[in-house]
Amino acid sequence: IRHDMYYIQGGDVIFRVENFLFRVHSYFFVRESSYFRERLPHPPPPGDPPRGTSDSNPFVLDDALSVDFARFLWVFYNPKYSIYGANVEEWTSILKLAHQWKFAAIKELAVRELELLTIEAVPKIVIYHTYEIDRTLLIPSYTVLTTREEPISIIEGKELGLETSLHLARAREIARGP
């Protein structure tokens, strides 16, 4: 099934993500990502058509969901240029693929945009840890969890992981004093 928004007639590479075909410009992928620089321009074995040049021989991306890939492509094809009106879920999808496929500039953009949005402390910590974002950006979130009245819940502890939960528990003890 051709994706209704991102099957672009001028595109020069066809990706299949789940059951959708996306025809886009390889330029962005080769320019921005070492992951794709290593994979896209390689010539096929003799007698084989180049992968990603037709609907019947697309470049298959098994490590993404079509909804996430469409969100990711929106960064390149945003009709409002530098105005990004995405929510936390959408930026997290973009961040996930940027991290996974080594799009450093897109990862920076996603973090910059996430920093402008209101995100509860625990989900923000989980997102930033998962995608290896600069932890100094989490100081306000750590502070919220350290200074709030109620302790970290079991559910929050599971989301944060053992090590982070223990560090926060220790910080809470220190903040409370003797």
SS3 category, 87 = coil
pLDDT tens digits, the chain, 178 residues: what are they?
999 999 999 999 999 999 999 999 999 999 999 999 988 866 777 877 788 889 999 999 999 999 999 999 999 998 877 778 899 999 999 999 999 999 999 999 999 999 999 999 999 999 999 999 999 999 999 999 999 999 999 999 999 999 999 999 999 888 887 7
Separate counts of helices (H) and strands (E) for the chain: 9, 4
- pLDDT of amino acid 15: 97
pLDDT at 174: 87
Domain boundaries of the chain, sorted by first residue: 118-178
- pTM across the whole model: 0.88
Burial bucket for residue 153 (CB in 10 Å: 0-12, 13-18, 19+): exposed
Tokens matching residue 29: 């992928």
Among 72, 63, 135, smallest CA distance to 106 is for 72
